Amino acid sequence: MQVLKTFYNDTQMTDSNSLANAMLEKPAELSPIITHLAGKEDKKFPLTMLTEGVGNTKSIDRWEYEYRVKTHEVNVRPVVSAAPGAVQGAGGQIFTVQFPDKWFIFPYTLISESGTQARIMSEPKQIGTQWEYTLRVVAADATTSVSIADLTPGAMWAQLYANVGLDFSRGNASNWSVPGLVRNKIGTIRKSYHFAGNAKDYVAEFSLPTKGGKMTKLWMDYEEYRHMLSFKEECELLYWYGERTYDDNGTTTMKDENGQPVITGPGLLQQIINKDTYSTLTESKLKNTIGDMFYGMTDASSKQITLYTGIGGAREFDEALKAHTGGFASWTVNADSHFITGSGRSLGMTGYFTSYDHIDGHRINVVKNPSFDHGPVAQARAKHPVTGYSLESYRMVFVDQSNYDGQSNVQMINKKGREMLRWAVAGSVVPRGFSGSDTRASDIDGASVHMLKTAGIVLRRFDTSLDLQCVAV
């Protein structure tokens, strides 16, 4: 796709090939298309491209939306207290251990950190805020006992299997964790702009490929195109940095000047629970943090992870992998992948790392986020002591973009009928693409256009992404 700023031609640019006019009829359908086209050209709103730009959206009837999340299975519990004594469980002796909750199920067998196995002999009893379990060592050797270390508060025990008698056994309960219910709200963002009557001479002309391999041309007022890009950039900031304005009970605490609730849902960064810091990125840090995020997942499939970062973070990523490989000198370079180009006195160097394959099969792809370099947060943050770049430029947000249960992990939620609203207030001129009920009267020598969108971002598994921030000193 190409976007060209050119002069308006009334013989070639009509309502039939006006992109703005088409958006009035089908704004919800065409807004994703514009996002995709403009995103490929401008690359200033990568998160919007990831969702709306590829049709990864969902429209709902309410301001509030619910979705199921499933976190890592945690099959271990720490000891809170145990019966006193140097030796427990020898010779088939029954002993008791208190755990913080009723996660372990009768008649399962448990295993301690040191490897000793003990069977739950009866239903646990609640004592205060803890639960007391009656256990018996499984080993046939009468001398086998539970070590003092395994009964020390904080020692971990894990659940293995349910072993029952030969006859007349009874069924047992299940402690398989089901997806939890998360309830969030979506917010409304709005932008208005004005342009003078003499600013209508310029248009943005789009050259788009058709299914038949040919090119077709659409157009819209250039000022409107630039402001639409600006509006999508502001939406992008909401999707990243938005903080919810309602409490855990759903009550909106933010009010406007008229006493009306100002609803803002959580952005992607607020939804990510894994937070970490670095001063200088290393391959070991990269490998370990990604490994820790997915370790213990019952779904062991490879994940697609996008690393959103600024110029500073992209350099850290590249330098970390180059340092890990020992530098250029030790590399074997294929004939079609030269790092040294040219010959004689005209040599050049090329080649930067933009992806990383984790030992567990997960792939990380680097995408630059201009907001981290030039956005308002980047401008407000402290500078890196060496480069002078904003520390936000070094921010690395690892977003799990895999599919779970047939749905993308990251999705845009729109309010039905408010996916994208546009209207004009006409003055001495009427913006092209607007007419009839789409205009309002004004005595201003110009016109104004207004855009409004009610949406939010869903991170379905908020424990498989990571917000890694630089704290360079």
Q: Is the pLDDT of residue 320 over 70?
A: yes
Residues 6+ positions from 192 with CB-CB distance below 8 Å: 448, 449, 450, 451
In a shared domain, residues 185 and 105: no
Q: Are residues 298 and 392 in the same domain?
A: yes
CA distances from 411 to 23, 401, 458 (A): 23, 9, 5
Indicate yes or no: pTM above 0.75.
no
Domain membership of residue 410 (yes or no) is yes
What pLDDT is attached to residue 310?
96
Specify whether 152 is located in the same domain as 242.
Answer: no
CA distance 15 to 435: 11
HSE-CB at 269 with a 13 A cutoff on CA atoms is 20
Instruction: Check residue 16 and give its pLDDT.
Output: 60
Domain range for 193 is 54-69+180-201+224-473
| Contact yes or no for 42/48 (Cβ under 8 A) | no
Read off the DSSP letter of residue 438. G
Please state, in angstroms and rounded to a whole number, the distance separating the CA atoms of residues 439 and 447.
10
Q: What residues contact residue 80 under an 8 Å CB cut-off, 6+ apart?
A: 98, 99, 100, 130, 153
Residues above pLDDT 90, as percent of the chain = 15
Does one domain contain both 290 and 247?
yes
Is residue 145 domain-shared with residue 61, that is, in the same domain? no
Residues 428 and 457 in one domain: yes
Residue 4 belongs to some domain of the structure:
no
pLDDT at 469: 92
pLDDT at position 200: 58
Tokens standing for 349? Answer: 């160097």
Whether the CB-CB separation of 415 and 57 falls below 8 Å is answered with no
Triad 427, 431, 435: Cα angle to 5° = 90
Q: Provide the number of structural domains found in the chain.
A: 2
- 63 and 82 assigned to the same domain: no
Residues 147 and 283 in one domain: no
pLDDT in tens, 416-448: 888 888 777 776 666 666 665 555 566 566 677
Residues 193 and 329 in one domain: yes
CATH code: domain of residue 99:
2.40.10
Establish if 246 belongs to a structural domain. yes
Q: Determine contact, residues 92/124, Cβ cutoff 8 Å.
A: no
Q: In this structure, are strands 108-112 and 117-120 parallel, antiparallel, or unpaired? A: antiparallel
My answer on whether 108 and 61 are in the same domain is no
Asked whether residue 385 is assigned to any structural domain, the reply reads: yes
How far apart CA 147 and CA 385 sit, in angstroms, is: 52
31 and 451 in contact (C-beta within 8 Å)? no
Distance between CA atoms of residues 289 and 469, nearest Å: 13
Examine the domain organization and report whether 260 and 134 are in the same domain: no
Q: Which amino acid would we find at residue 468? A: L
Task: In whole angstroms, give the CA distance from residue 387 to residue 205.
Answer: 39
pLDDT tens readout for residues 265-298: 888 999 998 888 999 999 998 888 888 777 766 5
With respect to residue 40, please indicate whether it lies within any of the assigned structural domains: no
Please give the Cα distance from 145 to 348 (Å, whole number).
69
Structural domain contains residue 218: no
The answer to whether position 170 is within a domain reads no
- The pLDDT value given to residue 249: 79
pLDDT digits (tens, 9 = 90+) for 111-151: 888 888 888 988 999 998 899 999 988 887 878 888 888 88
Output the pLDDT for position 362: 86
Q: Verify that 288 and 431 share a domain, yes or no.
A: yes
382: its two tokens: 């402290």
Q: Is residue 8 part of a domain?
A: no
The helix (run of H) or strand (run of E) holding residue 234 is: helix 222-241
